[in-house]
Structure 1
Amino acid sequence: MLDLWILLTLLAAGMQAWRNALQKQLSRHVSIAGVTLARFFWAWPLSVLYVFMLYRIRPAPWPDLSLAFMATIAAAALGQIAATALMVMLFRQRNYAAGVGLAKSEALLAALLGVLVFGATISPLGWCGILIGAVALWLMRGATPDDTALRPLMIGLASGLCFALTSLWVRHATQLQPALPFLHAAGWVLTLTIGMQWLTLVGWLAWRDRPALVLLWQRPRDSARVSLTSLGASLGWFTAMSLQDVALVKTLGQVEVLFTLLIARCWFREPITRRDRLGLVLIVIGALCVMWP
């Protein structure tokens, strides 16, 4: 029987692939900030309902809302907003599959961040994986090494870095609630994170881009689809990372690249170049090498 964290990670990867596709579609009509908000717009009330149901099924203590916990939640919320906005920018410059592939540099950047900041160690095979990942990103940068081609590469790296930091902060936040069952801890981290994101983006758009709020309201089906798939993905990631190390979860999560290729070909009818296809495969191989025990 498969471990629960494996099933949750596969669910999260599938839902995230669909969410990214829906975000790309919505980005044709709504601003970057508006598309980013669509990810959280309907997800917050649903996450509150999810936590309520958890407590109805299994009573548990309330979370310890310490300064360290709330600061970690705030960091994760802002990191995920930045990562999502950068990915939407990437979709406007590259096709869907290549955009997701560049953002999947997350696993490689998380490994490097662990070495440089958290004192982790990487095996020789891991360093080989980092080199493979660097080659993959270079392949996916574009056909010519000019500023126009390098810009998507830099945006993809920045998105991957923000996603990597978000994952590490989410894992840390759940570990700050040892008195709670893992489902309750992940549920609270999810709800508080989405709540901060909702308030931040609604406030920003109300101040700077009210037409985007109107467009989201006029497209309830599109925004609801993005929110529902986003909630499913986040619920899977957050719960899986409360059970297992981030590195292992994100390694298995690279299966999202396969879902991405299927959606790109079958739904968007996008041509995937040989360079992009090779780059996507190398990103997966590089991530596996980095995370291999």
Structure 2
Amino acid sequence: MELWIPVTVAAAFLQNLRMVFQKQLKASLTTGGATFSRFVFALPFAIVFAAAMQHIQVGAPPEPNAQFVLYCALGGVAQIMATGLLVAIFSHRNFAVGTAYSKTETVQTVFLGLILLGESVSFQALIGILISLLGVLAISFAQTGWNRYMLRDLVGRPALTGIASGTCLAMSVVCYRAGSLSLGGDGFLAQASLTLAVALVIQCVVMALWLKIREPGQAMATIRAWRIALPAGISGFAASACWFVAMTIQNAAYVRALGQVELVFTFAASWFIFKERSKPAEVLGVALICGGIVVLVLR
């Protein structure tokens, strides 16, 4: 089995765990505060991880450059926007379906990867990605019914917010892969860890300034909520570390497509933690997502 596959599955599981903690934070913090928590509490762990990976580096070390910093900045800001939009969805949809709207990012990643990096995907992989997308749409349609969804919900605030979140996330992952590859060097762990640490530094600075201007007091409120925010930060760091490693060694479109398995974890969380019940169409959607993942992995 290729290394990126188990690393991506681990990233999806850990990201789902982080979202569970973030949903709990949303009860006491604003969207901005809940978003800030995943960055600021992940940063110390990312710095330690990067330092360790640089220390054990064998061969040519990564070489930071202006292009690398630019990609990290673009990816970091895009991820902030994606995370903020995703957290905001929770006030419109239940946990599982709200997350589903953002999953259009897999198809968007294919096109952005082609445009920015010149990386294409195989025909079989594209079929797998489209099958998974059908699963996502089935899940989304299930909540309100096909007719109502097609006539009104597609241009409603929840759907547009989710799609925008997917666009920002697609941009962030492509930029992160571009930044990591621009470093050069011989070790993908050193590349991935350094990219993650620099991106988090940029994100923490941007979010702190944003909160100071737009939501005074939220930064400190986030720090005071450390008992819930710290687990979100730790799980967020672990998820990000896995994502960055996977995206350094494999096409970002493949990684994000396999990452759709997160939605299966999301439904498990919805069922066991938030006591939400799934409809038959949602179960069909999960089956399609799993089928698409199998096609992708066996490409």
- Shorter-chain TM-score bucket reads 0.7 to 0.9
2:65 paired residue number: 66
Distance (whole Å) between structure 1 residues aligned to residue 293 and residue 109 of structure 2 = 10
Query: Could you list the per-position Cα deviations for residues 241-282 of structure 1 after superposition, in whole angstroms to 9, with x for gaps in the alignment?
Result: 111222222232222111111111001111223343434444
Q: Is the 8 A contact 2:102 2:162 kept in 1?
A: yes
* 8 A Cα contact 1:87 1:159, kept in partner: yes
Identity score, percent = 27
Give 1:170 deviation, angstroms. Answer: 1.0
- From 229, 238, 244, the equivalent of 1:223 is 229
Q: Is the 8 A contact 1:251 1:288 kept in 2?
A: no
The separation in 2 between residues aligned to 1:249 and 1:270, in whole angstroms, is 28
Deviations 1:184-238 (A, max 9, x none): 1101100000110001101111222123223212211111011101100000010
* Residue 187 in structure 1 maps to residue 193 in structure 2: yes
- Is 1:255 the counterpart of 2:247? The answer is no
Q: 1:163 to 1:239 in 2, by over 3 A?
A: same
Matching residue of 1:82: 81
Partner residue, 2:171: 165
Check the 8 A contact 1:122/1:290 in 2, yes or no: no
Deviates more, 1:36-45 or 1:60-69: 60-69
Give the TM-score normalised by structure 2: 0.86
- TM-score, with normalisation over the residues of structure 1? 0.88
The answer to whether the 8 A contact 2:61-2:187 is kept is: no
For 1:9, the equivalent position in structure 2 comes to 8
List aligned pairs for 1:189-208, cutoff 5 A. Answer: 189-208=195-214
The Cα of 1:132 is off from its aligned counterpart by 7.1
Equivalent AA in structure 2 for residue 25 of structure 1: Q
Aligned partner letter, 2:235 = T
- SS at the partner of 2:231? helix
Q: Provide the rounded CA distance (Å) in 2 between the counterparts of 1:138 and 1:56.
A: 47
SS in 2 for 1:65: coil
Q: Once the 2 structures are TM-superposed, how far is the Cα of residue 56 of structure 1 from its aligned partner?
A: 3.3
Distance 1:121 1:186, change over 3 A: closer
What SS class does the counterpart of residue 268 from structure 1 fall into?
Answer: coil
Q: Could you say which residue in structure 2 is the equivalent of 1:126?
A: 126
Amino acid at match of 1:81: I
Match of 1:271, SS state, is coil
1:46 aligns with: 45
Task: Tell me how many residue pairs correspond in the alignment.
Answer: 292
Answer yes or no: is the 8 Å Cα contact 1:22–1:225 preserved in 2.
yes
Map Cα deviations across residues 130-178 of structure 1 (whole Å, 9 max, x no partner).
Answer: 4873684376153324656732111111111111111111111111112
Match of 1:242 in 2: 248
Matched, 1:137 2:137: yes
Measured on the aligned residues, the alpha-carbon RMSD in Å equals 2.7
Query: Are the counterparts in 1 of residues 23 and 87 from structure 2 also a CA contact under 8 Å?
Result: yes
Tell me the residue number matched to 2:161: 155
CA distances 1:17-43 after superposition (whole Å, capped 9, x unpaired) = 111111112112211111110111111
